[in-house]
Amino acid sequence: MAYFDPRKATVLIVDASPVGVGALLTQDGRVNAYASRALSDVEKRYSQTEREGLAIVWAIEHFHLYLYGHKFTLVTDHQPLECIFNNPKSKPPARIQRWRLRLQTYNFDVKYKSGKSNAADYMSRHPNINEANRTDHSEVAEEFVNYISENAIPKAMTIEEIALESEADMNIQYVIKAVKSGNWENSYDNKSLDTFARLKNELTTVNTDKGEILMHDNRIVIPHKLTDRVITLAHEGHQGIVRTKQLLREKVYFPGIDKRVEDTCKACIPCLAATPKKTFEPLAMSELPEAPWTYLSMDFCGPFPSGHYLMVIMDEYSRYPVVETLTTISAKAVIPLLDKVFSTFGIPNIVKTDNGSPWQGKEFRDFATYMGFTHRKITPLWPQSNAECERFMRSIGKSIRAAHTQHQNWKQEMFTFLRNYRATKHATTEVSPAKLLFGRNIKTKLPTLTQKYDDKEIRETDERKKDKMKDYADTRRNAEPSNLQIGDTVLVKQDKQNKLSTPYNSNPYKIVERNGTMLTAKRDNGHTITRNSSFYKQVKIPLTIVNEEKKGEEPATQLRTSGRINKTPAYLNDYVM
């Protein structure tokens, strides 16, 4: 054995047998103290789990001086107790539940070890019979269990019980005397007695073996002390307020019966839990944002059988929807799509979402901070807070289901639906979403007239800038207008393939069509190309010469030689070979 050191970790080993409980207080694998005691006759009838639980309670309270105030580990060979004591949500039997409450002042963890390694086993099977079998708290657990068993189920009420309580009730005794004597003086000063005085012609008394009881017509008048119990008996089975009143009125009477029954039924938790609520919070209508694309709402639709999800982004001002498809709703997949949408339409001020997993993590919080918008989450399990987006889900879902029914490509049909939805007047704003967001209506398959804009100033600015750009570019590029006409022979610019490639293809073409600077040329073999006039170089030599050269020339990859005749220079005439 070793001396106890409060600075070291403490381990308490406990065990229970059919005859006793034992415990060892240890530190660093060395025993500091032994303890055991025999079980009483009542404790011997406990279940094994309760005996093991008793060993825990008794051992901790026995070594209170060493264990109170610092954390320790408790070792048991009964594995269910590890879950019972370590899990606050466990629902053990009433006796063990009481013991758990007694041990709430101690800080400990319960660990399981097999019985073979439990050193307290010998102590529990050979208990100290001189140790007192009862502690100061020994009766508390038994009283707690007995109280629950006696009061958990309401007992039936007897006439003898009513007679005894009526004899102890001062108001009932006063009314009985008043009924017998007919003297109701001073009864109107008491509210309860005043109620009986108004019914004096309907009251009578009945003698029983235990005393007199008061009757209202054929109903028994219940003393005040028994009213709660009689209401509980009538409410068994959890009938509603009306049927509970009907059952009571057939048998008993007491002042304020209606209000008492209503209060009891309205406070009955099982009734409240089993009855659906028929009223809802009034709608809180949101204000229209100050400008388009400043306040967005988002949600997901899916998954569909193909594994795809739809990410729906709705502009709360214009009701313009943006829909993106994705195969996972993780933050890593959602953020790039949002970045793409924001690069097209701009960054909003506020983004409203539900409480789904993509919006809860650090990645999306960092993205919101990086982009500079405020992330607002709606009330959990209350989709009405995101009503605009939720209502759109129903419409787009219908479109996709219809496409599936017709065996069509649901993505293409979804785009068709979005095109028409964006061009249709919204029921609330009476303006199409595209009109509010872009300031113009988008074109659909239906015939429409192109709207003319008052943009004279823009056109003048555009023309002036383009003229300036043209002058600068034409000057730097030595630009000249093309004089090529239909029928001209031309060479066409070609891509450079290697060091021997020429800028132009030596196979000539003939111009067959001209449309502004766009020229179409054709070869004799029927090959046709269309290029800008800058790609062509006019050939002014007769075509017959070109054809003769073409016959004698080497492939395009060989160097071309000049057609001139080489002559010996005059200053070499006197040179003798």
pLDDT band at 559; cut points 50, 70, 90: low
- Scanning the structure block, which residue is given the tokens 């055991």? 36
Cα dihedral angle (326, 330, 335, 340), rounded to 10 degrees? Answer: 0
Asked whether residue 13 carries a pLDDT value surpassing 90, the answer given is yes
Q: What is the pLDDT of residue 354?
A: 92
> Rounded mean pLDDT of 523-532?
92
Is 353 inside any structural domain? yes
Task: Compute the mean pLDDT over every residue in the chain, rounded to the nearest whole number.
Answer: 86
The region, left, alpha or beta by phi > 0 then psi within -120 to 50, assigned to residue 307 is left
Asked whether residue 136 carries a pLDDT value surpassing 60, the answer given is no
% of the chain surpassing 70 pLDDT: 90
Cα dihedral angle (485, 487, 489, 490), rounded to 10 degrees? Answer: 50
pLDDT band at 216; cut points 50, 70, 90: confident
Q: Domain holding 29: CATH number?
A: 3.30.420.10
Tens-place pLDDT, residues 44-87: 888 899 999 999 999 999 999 899 988 999 999 999 999 999 88
Asked if 34 and 123 count as a contact pair (C-beta separation under 8 A), the reply is yes
Asked if 429 and 332 count as a contact pair (C-beta separation under 8 A), the reply is no
Is 59 inside any structural domain? yes
Q: Domain holding 230: CATH number?
A: 1.10.340.70
> Are 218 and 261 members of one domain?
yes
Is 390 inside any structural domain? yes
Strands 321-326 and 374-377: unpaired
> Are 44 and 171 members of one domain?
no
Domain housing 214: 159-274
pLDDT band at 150; cut points 50, 70, 90: low
Q: Residues of 332-369 as b/e, b for ≥16 C-beta within 10 angstroms? A: eebbeebeebbeebebbeebbbbeeebbeeeebeebbe
> Are 379 and 498 members of one domain?
no
531: helix, coil or strand? strand
Q: What is the pLDDT of residue 151?
A: 54
> Are 84 and 165 members of one domain?
no
Asked whether residue 483 carries a pLDDT value surpassing 90, the answer given is no
Strands 528-532 and 518-522: antiparallel
Which element (helix H / strand E) includes 22? strand 20-27
> Are 171 and 216 members of one domain?
yes
Max mean pLDDT range (324-328, 440-444, 569-573): 324-328
Q: Which of 229, 223, 227 is CA-nearest to residue 170? A: 223
Q: Which of 331, 284, 333 is CA-nearest to residue 308? A: 333
> Rounded mean pLDDT of 527-545?
82
Q: Give the total residue count for the chain.
A: 577
> Are 123 and 205 members of one domain?
no
Residue 347 is encoded by which pair of tokens?
Answer: 């960054």
How many whole angstroms separate alpha carbon 560 and alpha carbon 489? 20
Is 125 inside any structural domain? yes
The region, left, alpha or beta by phi > 0 then psi within -120 to 50, assigned to residue 476 is alpha
> Rounded mean pLDDT of 194-209?
82
232: helix, coil or strand? helix
Strands 72-76 and 10-16: parallel
Q: What is the pLDDT of residue 385?
A: 86
Strands annotated E in 281-349 = 295-301, 309-315, 321-326
Tens-place pLDDT, residues 100-117: 989 999 999 999 998 888
> Are 163 and 140 members of one domain?
no
- DSSP readout, 160-216? HHHHHHHHH-HHHHHHHHHHHH---TTGGGSHHHHHHHHTGGGEEEEEETTEEEEEE
- Structural domain ending residue among the three candidates 121, 146, 171: 146
Asked whether residue 545 carries a pLDDT value surpassing 90, the answer given is no
Is 431 inside any structural domain? yes
Q: What's the pTM value of the predicted model, to 2 decimals? A: 0.56
Q: What is the pLDDT of residue 329?
A: 92
Asked whether residue 560 carries a pLDDT value surpassing 70, the answer given is no
Asked whether residue 133 carries a pLDDT value surpassing 60, the answer given is no
> Are 118 and 48 members of one domain?
yes
> Are 362 and 237 members of one domain?
no
Residue 489 is encoded by which pair of tokens?
Answer: 């022979």
Asked if 396 and 312 count as a contact pair (C-beta separation under 8 A), the reply is yes
Asked whether residue 550 carries a pLDDT value surpassing 70, the answer given is no
Q: What is the pLDDT of residue 544?
A: 60
Q: What is the pLDDT of residue 510?
A: 92
Q: What is the pLDDT of residue 532?
A: 92
Is 284 inside any structural domain? no
> Are 261 and 321 members of one domain?
no
Q: With 0-12 CB in 10 A as exposed, 13-18 as middle and 19+ as buried, what is 215?
A: middle
- Structural domain ending residue among the three candidates 112, 146, 180: 146
Q: What is the domain count for the chain?
A: 4
pLDDT band at 455; cut points 50, 70, 90: confident
Which element (helix H / strand E) includes 151? helix 138-151
Asked if 495 and 502 count as a contact pair (C-beta separation under 8 A), the reply is no
Taking the CA atoms of 173, 176, 182 and 186 in sequence, report the sign of the dihedral they define.
positive
Asked whether residue 165 carries a pLDDT value surpassing 60, the answer given is yes
Tens-place pLDDT, residues 506-523: 899 999 999 988 999 999
Q: Of the given ranges (296-305, 343-352, 442-451), which has the lowest mean pLDDT?
A: 442-451
Across the beta sheet with 108-112, the strand order is 30-38, 20-27, 10-16, 72-76, 108-112
What are the residue ranges of helices labelled H in 426-513?
Answer: 433-438, 456-476
Asked whether residue 149 carries a pLDDT value surpassing 60, the answer given is no
Q: Of the given ranges (49-58, 140-149, 231-240), which has the lowest mean pLDDT?
A: 140-149
Q: Domain holding 520: CATH number?
A: 2.30.30
Beta bridge partners of 387: none
> Are 311 and 200 members of one domain?
no
- Structural domain ending residue among the three candidates 244, 274, 304: 274
193 or 345, higher pLDDT: 345
pLDDT band at 490; cut points 50, 70, 90: very high
Is 101 inside any structural domain? yes
Q: Of the given ranges (71-85, 150-164, 495-509, 525-539), which has the lowest mean pLDDT?
A: 150-164
> Rounded mean pLDDT of 151-177?
82
Is 446 inside any structural domain? no
Q: Of the given ranges (217-221, 343-347, 528-532), which has the lowest mean pLDDT?
A: 217-221
> Is the bond into 303 cis (omega within 30 degrees of 0)?
yes
> Are 18 and 49 members of one domain?
yes
Asked if 12 and 67 count as a contact pair (C-beta separation under 8 A), the reply is yes
Q: What is the pLDDT of residue 73?
A: 94
